[in-house]
A = this chain, B = another copy of it.
């Protein structure tokens, strides 16, 4: 339904949301600048979603967390070479109009343990957030990237 009946028989214009599915290239281009994203994983209390500051680095999502953080512990399988599956979501949505986009990266978590790999990320300027000493790098290698853009089509009105 695109119109809303007002008193007196007039109809108001209605903003109808239009969803456009984004391909992988469009998604990567939207998230290339880094910033705040949200990691979704299954932790000690079930599913969890937490905001982190990320960078896109060589097609992977990279962020830092405290070595002894609950999240870092939750993301360890305890089995060598077995990697945890996680989700990483980035969006930019205007609260007033609810227009914007969201991207969902699904992939496996890799703990950056080697000094060479850590040094490469530090050189790339991957920044920590949100508290002081954050020495543990986590990298998510995407296996699936999906996204959508939501805009409003204004219809009706008389």
Contacts and interface: CB of A to CB of B under 8 A. Distances in A.
Copy number in the complex reads 2
Interface string A46-58: 1111110100000
A102 B51 contact: yes
Q: How large is the interface on A (under 10, 10 to 19, 20 to 34, 35 or more residues)?
A: 35 or more
Contacts of A131: 17-19, 150
Nearest to A90: B49
Nearest to A19: B131
Contacts of A148: 130
B98 A38 contact: no
B49 A88 contact: yes
B89 A38 contact: yes
Interface in A1-54: 16-19, 35-36, 38-42, 45-51, 53
Contacts of A95: 35-36
A128 to B, nearest CB: 9
Given A35-B95, A38-B38, A129-B17, A50 B102 contact: yes
Interface of A: 16-19, 35-36, 38-42, 45-51, 53, 85-89, 91, 93, 95, 98, 102, 104, 106, 129-132, 144, 148, 150
